Amino acid sequence: MRKAIFWKLAVLGWSLLIFPLAAPLTAAAPATIRLPPPDRSGGVRLMQAMQERQSSRDFAEGGLSVQQLSDLLWAAGGINRPEEGKSTVPIMTPGSDLIIHALLPDGLYLYDPVDNALLLRQAGDHRALAAGPQAFAAQAPLNVILSSGQKNDTAAGVIVGHSSQNIYLYCASAGLKAVTRMTMDRQGLRDLLKLPEGQRPLLILTVGLKP
Ligand SMILES: Cc1cc2nc3c(=O)[nH]c(=O)nc-3n(C[C@H](O)[C@H](O)[C@H](O)COP(=O)(O)O)c2cc1C
């Protein structure tokens, strides 16, 4: 429970605007997107998802549903044991080991795994910062930015690596396409994210629909 409170303190500053659950993610940036509960029963078998995991950089037009976004973020680092505040990803320090942002076409959002919500941090289209020289990422409907405050570089890499693989497997299971990337406009993204001292963006999962 104390860890859950810690998470909440880490994501202060959101308003109560409710985003319609079934709506596509195309409306002007709401202050809070309340995600539906993740669907823990869906998807293909784990072995099949591993068989189909691959990197893709070609996406069809269109965005993910809010349900897909919820499922993907839960896989990336949601809470799977609420009584302990523990995550789908092995982390040592909740709130700073793994910070997840969703960069949508209309804004940058912080994922709050406790309340299962997205909290608007910066309205507007900032996808070019996630893309850097890889232009396709500036057109993608979703860029998931994985940051860590872990001082130990190995631990930080392991943590975002677990999250990245969970996203890959979810995408393989849900028929979505993804690629993990270290390429980004690092300084521009740091300025946008306004992370606390010591936290840094490490990986971006660029996600889209199957062509
Ligand atoms: C740590 C890491 C960083 C990566 N960075 C990029 C990147 O910046 N841009 C990119 O297009 N792909 C990037 N990739 C994806 C690799 O190119 C891809 O995983 C590799 O070609 C193997 O293909 P597969 O994932 O389909 O098996 C990265 C992969 C890893 C593991």
Q: Indicate which residue's Cα is closest to atom 19 of ligand 1.
A: 55
Phi/psi of residue 67, nearest 5 degrees: -65, -45
CATH number, domain containing residue 196: 3.40.109.10
Cα distances (angstroms) measured from residue 132 to each of 25, 100, 157, 188, 189:
23, 19, 21, 9, 10
195 contacts 132 by C-beta, under 8 angstroms = no
What ligand 1 atom has the least distance to the C-alpha of 132? 8
Sign of CA dihedral 12, 162, 97, 92: positive
- pLDDT surpassing 60 at residue 196: yes
Look-up of token digits 């940051």: 147
pLDDT for 28 equals 79
What residues have CB less than 8 Å from 152, skipping those under 6 apart?
A: none
Query: How far is the centre of ligand 1, averaged over its atoms, from the C-alpha of 27 (Å)?
Result: 31
Total domains in the fold of the chain: 1
Measured from the CB, is residue 54 less than 6 Å from ligand 1? yes
Query: How far is the centre of ligand 1, averaged over its atoms, from the C-alpha of 122 (Å)?
Result: 27
Domain range enclosing 100: 2-209
pLDDT in tens, 147-191: 999 999 999 999 999 999 999 999 999 999 999 999 999 999 999
pLDDT in tens, 90-104: 999 999 999 999 999
pLDDT in tens, 8-31: 444 333 333 333 333 445 457 899
